[in-house]
Chains A and B, each alone.
Chain A
Amino acid sequence: MEPWEEEEGPEVVKRFMYVNRRAPYGTIYALECLEVVLIAAAFDQDVSVVFVDDGVYQLKKDQDTTGIGMKNFSKTYRALDDYDVEKIYVEKESLEKRGLAAADLIIPVEVVTAHNLREIMAQQDVVISS
């Protein structure tokens, strides 16, 4: 390939969805899922990230973990934008049940209803939930 030619994209582009269902601390799932998403972003696939149930707490602003001695990794979610992960969905019902709104979250998200989320989920090739 000549240097002035466009580099070819990947042969296969699949839709990957990462579903976060758990609170950020208490178990390691949230942190390790974020690590997967950041790696996955490098693969030129169609990546989306979902936060449902207690998973919505992962994006809560002003987290303070000093009392539990764990690393506060919430600011890392801000890097998703730098990695071109732009499809970030938060389930409306999960937010409301917990008295939260989009304004309480550390990054801009798309708030979707459970019904809409179900449709988006059905369009995916790979769904990895944790």
Chain B
Amino acid sequence: MKFGILVNEGPFTHQASDSAYRFAVAAIEKGHQVARVFFYNDGVYNSNRLSEPQSDDRNLVALWSELAKANGIDLVVCIAAALRRGIKEEVLQDGFRISGLGQLVEAGIENDRLVVFGD
């Protein structure tokens, strides 16, 4: 099955991004495809390469980036939500790109399922 994923929360306050990441890993392990992950609301903070969690904790920004590179996942950060929160090209982690909300709608159209992770 081909999945799109929507992440609506940042990587620390809520578990949504962790759950989405684990869902993506599990889906890929089972032979499914994760085509795109769209980051909206505070979810855009998942793309901030300046995030520095403590070294004994998971680093979701890096984990998303690595997972995307290994599996050809399109990580899209919503431009309107990003600009509001100071997420711009210059702080963007490798593997993420900034684009419009149309990419979210497209993920809903083109994939078999769009799975939403939020509060």
Contacts and interface: CB of A to CB of B under 8 A. Distances in A.
Interface of A: 10, 12, 14, 16, 28-29, 32, 35-36, 39-40, 42-43, 45, 125-130
A36 B40 contact: yes
Contact of B116 (A10, A14, A40, A128): A128
B105 A40 contact: yes
A62 to B, nearest CB: 27
A35 B110 CA distance: 21
Interface in B67-97: 80-81
Interface of B: 6, 8, 40-41, 80-81, 100-102, 104-106, 108-110, 114, 116, 118-119
Nearest to A19: B116
Contact of A128 (B6, B81, B119): B6
Residue of B41, B104, B106 contacting most chain A CB atoms (<10 Å)? B41
A29 B118 CA distance: 10
Contact of B81 (A12, A32, A42, A45): A32
B81 to A, nearest CB: 6
Given A32-B40, A43-B102, A128-B6, 13 more contacts: A14-B109, A32-B80, A39-B101, A39-B102, A40-B101, A42-B102, A43-B106, A43-B109, A45-B108, A126-B108, A127-B116, A128-B108, A129-B118
